[in-house]
Structure 1
Amino acid sequence: MLPNVALIAVFIYRPLFQNIYYSTLNWTLGSKFATPVGLGNYRDFFTSGEASKVLTTTGIFTVATVGLTLALGLGVALALNRKLPGAGFAQATVFAPYILSGYGVGLAWLYIFDPNIGALSAILRDVGLNSPEWINSPPWTLTMVIVVYVWKNLGYAAVVYLAGLQAVPGDLLEAADLDGAGPVRRFFTVTLPLLSPTTFFLMVTTILNSLQAFDLLIAMDKLGRGARTLIFDAYLTGFKEQSQAGYSAMLSTVLFAILVVLTLVQLIVVERRVHYR
C-alpha cells in the first residue's frame, strides 16, 4: 500500500494543505513576495456582497442540476427498463453525452442557444417568439448552463438507476401485484424504497460533481455573467480578473469545506433513511 499512500499524500493532501496556507496570504499570482493576512481573505469575502451572490448562484446551480438529473435519470431508466428491440443501443445513446468533453459540449450548445443564428432561436421565431439573450442576461445564462449540464449528465444517473431497477426482486413486485397494488402504488411502495441505496449513491456523487463543475461553465459563460459559481469565481479571481492567488485559494478552501460538510451530512443523516436489502 505504501506507493499508493505516497502518491495520494504528494498529489492530493500536499496541494490541499498548501492551498489552505496560500489562502492566508495576500499574494498576486507571479509575484515573488506575499504578505500574511491570516483570516483576512475570509473576512473580506464573507463581509462583501460577493459572498451572498456567489453562494446563492452555487446553491441554485447545485440544487437544480442534482434534482433534475436524478428525476429525469430515473424517468429515463424506467423507460429503458423494458425488453424491447434496440434497448442496448438506446442505453448507449443516453449515456454517450456523459463521456463527452464538457468544454466541447458547451461550445456546441452555444450555437444552439445563439439568439441570432441558433437552432433554438429559429424554432422560437417559427412560433412567433423572440429568443432570450442567453449569454448576456445573467438569469438566462444560468438557466442555459443548467439545462446543458443536466442534458450531459442525466445519462449517468439513468444507467445507475437502470442497474438498480434490474436488481429489484421480481417476486416482491409479483406479491404486490397479487395484493392488488397497481403500477403506481408498486413503484412508490416497493421499487422506490428499494432504490434508496442507488439514490443515496447518486446524491453524493452528483452533488460533488455539480459543486466542482467547471469546464462546461467556462465554455458557455467565459466572463462569469450568470453562472459564477464558487469554483468558477476562484478561477476568474486567480487567473483572469485580478490575479489574486491568495484570495482564489481562500475561495477553493471554502468550497472544500462545503464539500466536506455536505458529504458528512449525507453520510450521517441521509444514509439513515436508506433501506439496504
Structure 2
Amino acid sequence: MATVTPPVPGRRHRTPLARREARWAYLFLAPWIIGFLIFYAGPMLASLWLSFTEYDVINPPEYTGLDNYRQLMSDPAVARSLGNTVYYTALHVPLVMLISLGLALLLKRVGRLQGFFRTVFYLPVMTPAVAVGILFLLLLNTQDGLINRALGLVGIAGPSWTTDPHWVMPGIILMSLWSLGSTVIIYLAALQNVPRDLYEAAAIDGAGPWARFRSVTLPMISGALFFTLIVNTIASLQMFTEVYTMYFGNRETQNTFNSDAASFYVIHLFQEAFQFLHMGFASAMAWLLFVIILIITLIQVKLSNRFVYYEGEDK
C-alpha cells in the first residue's frame, strides 16, 4: 500500500504548472533586473563608496572616511546652492499645480476643441530642455527680449532677467512654467473621472460653485494632486539642464552676472564632479540630495493620509 506524505504545515506546495509559470516570469523579468543592477544599483553602490574617498578620476580613490560629509556641512557654496534649489521648489511646485488646475478646469469646458488644446498644452513638454534654455535666454534678454518688449508696450520697464541677481530666480521660475502641460493633462483626466451625480447631489443640497469645488472636486482629484506634488517636487530639486544652458553653458552670460544667483544644487554637483574632478565630494553631494528627497517624500506620503481620498476606501 502506497504511503502518502502529509503536507508540511506552513509550506506551500506549487504545482509543476505554477513552477513553470514562475520560471517564465523570472525569465521575462531578467532584462529589467539585469539593467537595474548594472545601470542603477551598481552605480549607486559605487558612488556610496566614492563618497568616503578622495577621487579625481586620474588617481586611484583614497579613503578619507567622513571628510567629504564634514565638508558638505561647512561649505558655503553647497549651502547657497541648496538654498536656491529649495527656494525654487517652494515657488515652482505650488505655481505649477495652481496654474495647471486652472487650465484643466478651463479645458474641461471647451467641448470639441478639448483634444486640440490638450495637444497645444502638451507640445512644450516634448521640447528638448537645452532648446528651452536657449529660447528663454532670448525671451528674457534685457534689451531685445520679447517679454521686456511686451512689458514696454504697456509702459512697464522690464527688469534685467538674466543679469540682475534679484531677477534671475523669478526668470527661471517663469521659464519652468513652460513645461506644465503634463500636469494639466493629469488633472484633466482626474476631473473627467469625477462622477457627475456627486455634483448634482451637491447642487440639490444648495451648494454653490465654490462649495462644489471644495467639497466634491478637490477630494475626488486629491490622488492626482498628491501624485503631481511628489513628482514635481522631486523634479524641482533636481533642476539642471535648462538653467545650466542659460547661465553656465554660455561664456558671455557667465561674465555678465553673478553665477551664485543661478547656482542650483545639481549644477554645483556637476561642477564639482566634471569641472574640478572632485568625484568623492560630488558623490557625497549626490547622497545628501538622495536623503533630502527621501525625507521630503516620506513626509508628503505621511501627510497624504489626512488629505488624499481614495474612492472605495473607508476613512
Superposed CA deviations along residues 195-216 of structure 1, whole A, max 9, x for unmatched, are 1111111111111111122211
Matching residue of 2:50:
22
Matching residue of 2:209:
183
From 204, 212, 215, the counterpart of 2:230: 204
The count of aligned residue pairs is 274
> For 1:62-101, what aligned pairs fall within 5 Å after superposition?
62-101=89-128
Q: 1:13 is aligned with what amino acid?
A: A
Runs of 4+ off more than 6 Å? none
Matching residue of 2:299:
265
Matching residue of 2:5:
none
Deviates more, 1:199-208 or 1:115-124: 115-124
RMSD of aligned residue pairs (Cα, Å):
1.6
From 213, 230, 235, the counterpart of 2:265: 230
Q: Which structure 2 segments of 5+ residues have no match?
A: 1-28, 249-253
Matching residue of 2:279:
245
Q: 2:99 is aligned with what amino acid?
A: L
Q: Which structure 1 segments of 5+ residues have no match?
A: none
From 265, 290, 307, the counterpart of 1:256: 290
CA distance in 2, matches of 1:121, 1:71: 25
> For 1:59-138, what aligned pairs fall within 5 Å after superposition?
59-138=86-165
From 221, 234, 239, the counterpart of 1:213: 239
For residue 60 of structure 1, report the CA deviation from its aligned partner.
0.8
Matching residue of 2:20:
none
Q: Secondary structure at the match of 2:115?
A: helix
CA distance in 1, matches of 2:245, 2:291: 26
CA distance in 2, matches of 1:2, 1:87: 41
Is the contact between residue 137 and residue 225 of structure 1 (CA under 8 Å) also seen in structure 2? no
**Normalization by structure 1: what TM-score?**
0.93
CA distance in 2, matches of 1:155, 1:236: 30
Matching residue of 2:68:
41
CA distance in 2, matches of 1:267, 1:92: 31
For residue 187 of structure 1, report the CA deviation from its aligned partner.
0.3
CA distance in 2, matches of 1:247, 1:57: 20
Q: 2:48 is aligned with what amino acid?
A: I
For residue 139 of structure 1, report the CA deviation from its aligned partner.
2.8
**Normalization by structure 2: what TM-score?**
0.82
CA distance in 1, matches of 2:303, 2:156: 46
CA distance in 2, matches of 1:266, 1:140: 30
Q: 2:144 is aligned with what amino acid?
A: I
Q: 1:43 is aligned with what amino acid?
A: R
For residue 51 of structure 1, report the CA deviation from its aligned partner.
3.4
From 31, 37, 40, the counterpart of 1:9: 37
Is the contact between residue 200 and residue 271 of structure 1 (CA under 8 Å) also seen in structure 2? no
CA distance in 2, matches of 1:136, 1:26: 36
Residues 191, 129 of structure 1: alpha-carbon distance in 2 compared, 3 angstrom cutoff: closer
> For 1:124-203, what aligned pairs fall within 5 Å after superposition?
124-152=151-179, 154-203=180-229
CA distance in 2, matches of 1:135, 1:83: 37
Q: 1:20 is aligned with what amino acid?
A: L
CA distance in 1, matches of 2:154, 2:199: 45
Matching residue of 2:21:
none
Q: Secondary structure at the match of 1:221?
A: helix
Deviates more, 1:114-123 or 1:130-139: 130-139
Residues 27, 139 of structure 1: alpha-carbon distance in 2 compared, 3 angstrom cutoff: farther
